[in-house]
Amino acid sequence: LGSADGAEMMAAWILLSCAWGQGMRAEDFAMEELATEKEAEESHRQDSFNMLTFILLLTLTILTIWLFKHRRVRFLHETGLAMIYGLLVGVILRYGIPANSYHNKTPASCSLREGPTSTLLLNVSGKFFEYTLKGEINSREIHNVEQNDMLRKVTFDPEVFFNILLPPIIFHAGYSLKKRHFFRNLGSIITYAFLGTAVSCFVIGNLMYGVVKLMQAVGQLTGKFYYTDCLFFGAIISATDPVTVLAIFNELHADGDLYALLFGESVMNDAVAIVLSSSIVAYQPAGANTHQFDASAFFKSVGVFLGIFSGSFVMGAATGVVTFTKLHCFPLLETALFFLMSWSTFLLAEACGFTGVVAVLFCGITQAHYTYNNLSEESTKRTKQLFEVLHFLAENFIFSYMGLALFTFQNHIFSPIFIIGAFVSFLTCQIAIFIGRALNIYPLSFLLNLGRRHKIKGNFQHMMMFAGLRGAMAFALAIRDTATYARQMMFTTTLLIVFFTVWVFGGGTTPMLSWLHIRVDVDPDQDLQPSAEGQSKTKQESAWLFRLWYTFDHNYLKPILTHSGPPLTSTLPSYCGPLASCLTTPRAYENHEQLRDPDSDLIRGDADLTFTFGDTAITANGASGSGADAAGEEALERELDSREQELLSRGTRLVFPIEDHI
């Protein structure tokens, strides 16, 4: 029995059983007297049915993904597919249900002089009922509140995206980062993410402002659209999400460095874009509605940006570092605790006014670096798989929801003028985005290449340019606030841009890869070997910073936070002895003793020892010549790699304490 049969069986089964259930309940309802109880049950069933729609959408997507993977179809990624299915269901929900099936009655209304409060009391002959504000409603829409109610039921609270769906996606991104390639390209990634996103945001914002002015002159724009709105749009649309491209890279084993650059950039620029957009919202010139440039407000925005970003970073990293080392015997407890801690990082950051998504990203990176080493073997597998499943489901859900939202979301009104406006702005945006991304990638790559040993080649730059897809983060940021005309316009435009980039650029990845002659089927082990070219051009400054951090991490943080690394008693100066022995766990000593044991099977060959020596040599003297430096950097990379392998094999690492060599 194939899966297709399964789906068919399921569909037939749903129809059959629902028909029976409906019949049974109908007579049930006839007997019931309380209208509210009946209404509540009806609403509960409607809710269940709506959720079921989403679940079946996801099921359908998964079955089609399987078919595509089975037949090696690469022109459409699962996310693109999910959007198409969502689109179809959205069309059915909006136009398939005849309007006369609704009662078209206007609900009860009452008048008040004052503005809306979040809670309203209704007095019905002495009994009080509590009502909560749902939102403003257009005066045209009053008469079909009921139909809108149905459509609104399938639209979620935007906060759901931020609080429930995004965290697992972002955490998984941080947790599954391929560390070796990531750290090797850290400088470039950070440059692209911070400088690049800022450039992209300002270029897109300014171009869009020009277009807005033009449209206002022509009279196409019916609402207000300020400069800050344009910048805000620039920020949200700068969050790239090359999920399609990366999935194909993974499948084809494309170049590791290019993968790391793209993945790292997209992960970090999500964080930058989200903080950037909230600092733009915080930009409020002193004179209320002047909308002129205000230096103090600008610097306040910059301050907010730095404050929120660093706060979220520190919070995520700090929570990621909190360790639990004695839970080894109970993998279930360990996994549950790990899950709860990641989520509490997110909530903690939100509760404190920082950005949860950024915090959870750095929490993921830190946990992969430290906590992962403390988990039992079973928990490492469990946590990886748990987050993999959550990430997979959340991502496909968001994309199918995007498809659905195009036709069912309340706050984009379908008037011809609006659609024309949206398309015009879509096209200009697309051009603006292209220009923005070009001004991000090419000049920055040129600058970075001045300092890089491994140059970012021309075809890599073109590929990065091409891979600037927009996805879940742009959508989540756009849907968060759709109160004003400008924001509604942005939301619709963002939706169209996501569709366009995922389908067109996502589908064109494989042809583009071969057209740009980017090597595929790279053996990750072979990729490890240092390339002979360009070793002499190492910039000592950046390497020095990295080395300093590495030494500190290796000698102090790792021993304190995990069992790997040398015991603190050997790395700390002797006057810190009591503190060191108090902070070192027995297991670290065990590792240490195993090392001294000459009969141990774990002693590695000469080659490995050389690397460890090289490593220690660096830690001992940081100011050696550039030739030794290059060798040292190779050693660092190998070290990072061996750490990654260690994560997989959980073998005991061999580390000679410094004292032995000085």
**CB-CB contact of 499 with 404 (8 Å):** no
Q: Are 349 and 158 in contact (CB under 8 A)?
A: no
Contact 464, 441 (CB under 8 A): yes
Q: Is the Cβ of residue 132 or residue 526 nearer to a second copy in the bound state?
A: 132
- Residues counted in the chain: 662
Identify the residue whose tokens are 């999910």: 82
Report in angstroms the alpha-carbon separations of 562 from 546, 553, 566.
21, 11, 10
Number of neighbouring beta carbons within 10 Å of residue 137: 11
Q: How near is the Cβ of 423 to a second copy at its closest, in Å?
A: 30
Token pair in block for residue 13:
């089964």
Write the single-letter amino acid at 446: F
Query: What's the closest the beta carbon of residue 327 comes to a second copy, in angstroms?
Result: 5
CA 115 from centroid of its chain's CA atoms: 38
Cβ 649 to a second copy shortest distance, Å:
19
- In the complex, least distance from residue 193 CB atom to a second copy, rounded to whole angstroms: 23
The nearer residue to a second copy, 189 or 236, going by C-beta atoms, is 236
Q: At what angle do helices 377-408 and 485-500 cross, to 10 degrees?
A: 120
The nearest distance, CB 195 to a second copy, in angstroms, is 24
- Which of 71, 596 has the CB closer to a second copy? 71
CA dist., res. 74 & res. 506, Å (int): 9
6/524 with CB nearer a second copy: 6
User: Closest Cα to residue 474, out of 275, 309, 270?
Assistant: 270
Report the alpha-carbon distance of residue 337 to residue 270 in Å, rounded. Answer: 26
Q: Quick one: tokens of 424?
A: 């015009």
Task: Report in angstroms how near the CB of residue 29 gets to a second copy at its nearest.
Answer: 9
Which of 325, 535 has the CB closer to a second copy? 325
- Minimum CB–partner distance for residue 346 and a second copy (Å): 8
Angle at 157 between CA 156 and CA 160, to 5 degrees: 90
CB of 323 or CB of 449, closer to a second copy: 323
- Kindly state the smallest distance separating residue 545's Cβ from a second copy, in Å: 26
Alpha helices for 481-621 (secondary structure H): 485-500, 506-507, 509-515, 524-528, 540-552, 558-561, 568-571, 577-583, 586-596, 606-620
170 vs 207, beta carbon nearer a second copy: 170
Cβ at position 57, least distance to a second copy in Å = 10
Q: Which amino acid is at 342?
A: S
Contact 512, 75 (CB under 8 A): no
User: Min. distance of Cβ 565 from a second copy in angstroms?
Assistant: 14
- When the beta carbons of 249 and 387 are compared against a second copy, the nearer one is 387
Closer CB to a second copy, 174 or 320, in the complex = 320
Nearer to a second copy, 219 or 578 (CB): 578
- Nearest residue (CB) to a second copy, 39 versus 523: 39
- To the nearest whole angstrom, how small is the minimum distance from the Cβ of residue 14 to a second copy? 6
Cβ proximity to a second copy, 565 vs 632, nearer residue: 565
Distance, CA of 296 to CA of 298 (rounded, Å): 5
Per the CB < 8 A criterion, the answer to whether 472 and 395 are in contact is yes
Least Cβ distance, residue 16 to a second copy (angstroms): 9
Cα 82 from Cα 7, distance rounded (Å): 16
Shortest distance in whole angstroms from residue 87 CB to a second copy: 20
What is the smallest separation between the CB atom of 409 and a second copy, expressed in angstroms? 16
Amino acid at 243: V
- Mutual angle of helices 356-366 and 295-321, in 10-degree steps: 40
Which DSSP string corresponds to 609-625?
A: HHHHHHHHHHHH-S---
CB of 181 to a second copy, least distance (A): 22
Query: What SS3 class is residue 424?
Result: helix
Dihedral (CA of 379, 367, 316, 473) sign: negative
Give yes or no for a contact between 222 and 448, defined as CB atoms under 8 angstroms apart: no
Question: What single string gives the DSSP state of each residue in 313-376?
Answer: HHHHHHHHH----S-TT-HHHHHHHHHHHHHHHHHHHHHTTS-HHHHHHHHHHHIIIIIHHHS-
- Report the C-alpha gap between 392 and 527 in whole angstroms: 28
Nearer to a second copy, 134 or 596 (CB): 134
Environment class of 19 (CB within 10 Å of its CB; exposed 0-12, middle 13-18, buried 19+): exposed
What stretch of H or E contains 418? Answer: helix 416-451
Nearer to a second copy, 125 or 526 (CB): 125
Q: Are 284 and 232 in contact (CB under 8 A)?
A: no
CB atoms under 10 Å from CB of 321, counted, come to 17
| Minimum CB distance to a second copy smaller for 311 or for 436 | 311
Q: Which is nearer to a second copy, 112 or 218 (CB)?
A: 112
Smallest gap from residue 344 Cβ to a second copy (A): 4
